[in-house]
Structure 1
Amino acid sequence: MRLLHVTAHLGGGVGKVLSRLVEASSRRADGIEHTIACLAMPEKTLFVDHARAHGARVVCAPDARSLDTLVREADVVQLEWWHHPLVARWMGATAHPPMRLVVWSHVSGLGLPTFPSRFLTLPHRFLFSSTCSLDAPAVRQLSDEARARLGVVFSSGGFDDLPEAPRRGDDTPLRTGYVGTLNFAKLHPDLMDFVAAVRIPDFRLALVGDPTTADALHTEARARGLTSRLDVRGFTHDIAGTLSHFDVLAYLLNPQHYGTAENALLEAMAMGVVPVVLDNPAERQLVEHERTGLIVRTPSEFADAMDRLATTPGLRATLSAQAAAYVRKRFDIAVTANALHAHYAAVLDEDKRSIDFRSVFGTTPAQWFMACQHPDTWTPDALGRAGTGSAHAQLEATKGSVFHYRDHFPEDAQLAGWARQAEHAR
């Protein structure tokens, strides 16, 4: 079977998942020929190199004609979707050759970006990467017939690249960290409230990731006298080495974040790092309270959880072992590959057909952007009132924001005008 992946890029969680799927496919000799059309030139080549090393054909920044050829040649086209401008351009700029289309969404649809209901009915299969997406408003509007063409495949890249969880000493001071995206569309905007609430002497939170919000975090920490409690380390490729020196993962995300399978969280659990997460929809699908981690709702509850873990080493050891065993089994790359393969086999029995993305998303960049917003709330005034909710996603430089779309489509006057208005809410 010839499988074409269409993706905006091969960075972050998507890059790991796709490159590990290629590796698993090669190892299993399952007969799938993987081609990855990466619409952007890669900033980092780690996952591009990994996919190629295991037999995938990776085509970077193909022109429209070349991409059409790849679509025609493919038995199945899998679109990796998260409302990126480059994917929107591919979907909305021209008509496409007939295809068997599987859409794999890497955002939840619970906040921004939203799913247009009609988008869910366009492909042969629409796959979510977390069961939390089944509660999205667009999904609840669907008929039973349309729901039958939905599926859930958690987008885990597995843990073959990680060693076994190390043994941690019971008598050492609690070492707490966070690994992942540091922008406030993902990280909780009131993170410092949680840091301030901890009662443990000498508590320090290490933040590992591209330091996009480092200045804002340091400024707030200085203003609140919390400088000694914050350690912003920046991005690292040595995830295993980093996680082996943490006892607890303080995974405190924006309640309206866009994520789903949360590979950074799963990798930490696989390494025996005890997760403390907020009671958000995506995290509830990954962490079982009191069995594989602790779920909290407020800074006070976070402080209580940290006290328990610091003073009860037996609890910490139990949660660590159970978390590692659970995620390594449930989210193994073979589980992801098997689930996807079942959907491929099903759609191969169906005919290729024309997919009219433009009927849902429109034909201009401004229409592509607005198709996944809340039109009744996406205004400069609403952005200013949004507080810790969706405003942070809307005001990011990237992540499908108006600025992200404006930068990709500077010729669109409507996007440029919206971006100028939105600047006042930043």
Structure 2
Amino acid sequence: MPEILHITAHLGGGVGKVLSRLVEESSRRCDGFRHVVACLEKPEKDVFSTHLASHGGELLICPSSEELDRRIRAADIVQIEWWHHPLVARWLGQATLPPSRLIVWSHVSGLHPPTIPADFVALPHRFLLTSPCSLESAELKALPTAVRQSVDAVFSSGGFSDLPPANPRSFSGPLRAGYVGTLNFAKLHPRILDFLGALKLDNFRLDLIGDLDNGEALQQAATAAGLGDCLKLLGYTHDVGNVLKNYDIFVYLLNPLHYGTTENALLEAMAMGVVPIVLNNPAERNLVQHMETGLVVNTPDEFADAITWMFSHPDQCRAMSMKAAAQTRQRFAIGHTLDQLTRHYRAVLAEDKRPVDFRPVFGTQPGDWFRRCQGDESWRFTDPPTGPSTEGPHFLFERNKSSVFHYARTFPDDLRLARWARALENPQ
């Protein structure tokens, strides 16, 4: 039975769901593959690790370098779950990988940091993206034809088996609007209040469901702008399906520089029949068909017009709701994800194992690993720093998500990372 060894930094969020559901679907089908997941840090929550183990998957937690090398040699295919996490960067930057049939599945778009270096894409047997939008990056557009043939897009959807069926909505009377996700402005649009301020309707309220790290500041800003009644912060929930049943509209206005791809929060809302309004960002326009499964807008005024239109067109909204639910549950089903991956697994099994050295791509030191994926922001991270300041994209100031602060915490002895982090926190 061919063995797939998945190597991941952690089992949280979207990657935890998709890997655990892949193992379940593979087991249900008896498709002939055995899945092993090597997790480089101890899971904070056991929901996905328990699900994985209960369906026949093997879980290795914090394996030693020697153990990981041994399992790589034994595996038929090695699949790296990549989003430039510092623990994966350290593993890739330490030594040449033992001979393997290697697949990299990138869980970031690469359109903005963390970027996807073209020479990284050329190394494994297959390089899989989690959205076709990644191919819009300048580096990937310029890939040689021979390399491009080993690149494909496989959405990282874990399916919707944990959601109840979509409930019919009337779209008559007051429409209920919600957002599920982080309130951090590296993901949520930093001008969200401009969009709400453009509304021409009274008594419109947007419920925000997610961790409240940025919630108090956002609520204060809304109150100062006279929009305090337009927002309601509801905090985090584990029961997303039950929450989504309460909404008609999913307001999913993301920062144009966000790093996401498959956007599982958006897909879950669509699968529940909640009609989304999204910005015309690369990832979202690969998920939402305008006026078919949702509404795609460009500006605050277009957002306001879309909300007004929905209030006066209940029949069209009902049709969009039903189409969004049906198409999303089919197009992004876990079975479809596994079908696409299995096609690559079977093709790669026919190829020879080979050693792979990522150090020529990423370098040998933590500062090198971090800086290699900073794209247009690389100029900030030189030695000495050449201008980091409080002015810049929100993702620069993330405490986690593969930011300089995340890398500096992981590698406290790297003096360059420490200087870069200090320069961002204490600009001169």
1:300-319 Cα shifts (integer Å, max 9, x gaps): 11111111112221121111
Please tell me the residue identity of whatever aligns with 2:66.
R
Q: For 1:248 and 1:300, locate their aligned partners in 2 and report how far apart those are by CA, in whole Å.
A: 17
- Secondary structure, aligned partner of 2:99: coil
Match of 2:404 in 1: 402
Match of 1:422 in 2: 424
- Comparing 162-171 and 9-18, the one that deviates more: 162-171
The count of residues paired between Structure 1 and Structure 2 equals 422
1:179-231 Cα shifts (integer Å, max 9, x gaps): 12221111111111112222222111111122221122122112212221111
Q: For 1:80 and 1:404, locate their aligned partners in 2 and report how far apart those are by CA, in whole Å.
A: 18
Q: For 1:163 and 1:231, locate their aligned partners in 2 and report how far apart those are by CA, in whole Å.
A: 25
Q: For 1:92 and 1:234, locate their aligned partners in 2 and report how far apart those are by CA, in whole Å.
A: 39
Q: 1:148 offset after TM fit, Å? A: 0.6
- Secondary structure, aligned partner of 2:380: coil
Q: Is the 8 A contact 2:172 2:311 kept in 1?
A: no
Match of 1:71 in 2: 72
Match of 1:195 in 2: 196
Q: 1:95 offset after TM fit, Å? A: 2.8
Q: 1:169 offset after TM fit, Å? A: 3.2
Please tell me the residue identity of whatever aligns with 1:422.
L
Q: Does 1:218 align with 2:219?
A: yes
Please tell me the residue identity of whatever aligns with 1:412.
D
Match of 1:87 in 2: 88
1:135-182 Cα shifts (integer Å, max 9, x gaps): 111111211111011111111111122121102233341110111222
- Secondary structure, aligned partner of 2:277: strand
- Secondary structure, aligned partner of 1:98: strand
Please tell me the residue identity of whatever aligns with 1:145.
A
Match of 1:256 in 2: 257
Q: 1:381 offset after TM fit, Å? A: 3.5
Q: 1:69 offset after TM fit, Å? A: 1.8
Q: For 1:76 and 1:53, locate their aligned partners in 2 and report how far apart those are by CA, in whole Å.
A: 22
Match of 1:3 in 2: 4
Match of 1:209 in 2: 210
Alignment of structure 1 residues 7-406 onto 2, 5 Å: 7-374=8-375, 376-378=378-380, 381=387, 384-386=390-392, 391-406=393-408
Please tell me the residue identity of whatever aligns with 1:419.
A
1:317-360 Cα shifts (integer Å, max 9, x gaps): 11101111111111111111010001011111111111101111
Q: Is the 8 A contact 2:128 2:154 kept in 1?
A: yes
Please tell me the residue identity of whatever aligns with 2:418.
A
- Secondary structure, aligned partner of 1:232: strand
Go from structure 1 to structure 2 and tell me whether the alpha carbon gap of 1:62 and 1:218 turns closer, same or farther (over 3 Å shift): same
- Secondary structure, aligned partner of 2:355: coil
- Secondary structure, aligned partner of 1:186: coil
Q: For 1:194 and 1:350, locate their aligned partners in 2 and report how far apart those are by CA, in whole Å.
A: 52
Q: Is the 8 A contact 2:8 2:81 kept in 1?
A: yes
Please provide the CA RMSD for this pair.
1.5
1:23-51 Cα shifts (integer Å, max 9, x gaps): 10011001111111111111111111111
Matched-pair identity in %:
54
Q: For 2:262 and 2:99, locate their aligned partners in 1 and report how far apart those are by CA, in whole Å.
A: 31
TM-score with structure 2 length normalisation? 0.96
Q: 1:62 offset after TM fit, Å? A: 1.7
TM-score with structure 1 length normalisation? 0.96
1:96-135 Cα shifts (integer Å, max 9, x gaps): 2111110000101111111111000010000001111111
1:73-107 Cα shifts (integer Å, max 9, x gaps): 21001000001111111111233211111000010
Query: Unaligned regions of 5+ residues in structure 1, if any?
Result: none
Q: For 1:317 and 1:3, locate their aligned partners in 2 and report how far apart those are by CA, in whole Å.
A: 43
Q: For 1:321 and 1:356, locate their aligned partners in 2 and report how far apart those are by CA, in whole Å.
A: 49
- Comparing 309-318 and 402-411, the one that deviates more: 309-318
Please tell me the residue identity of whatever aligns with 1:109.
G
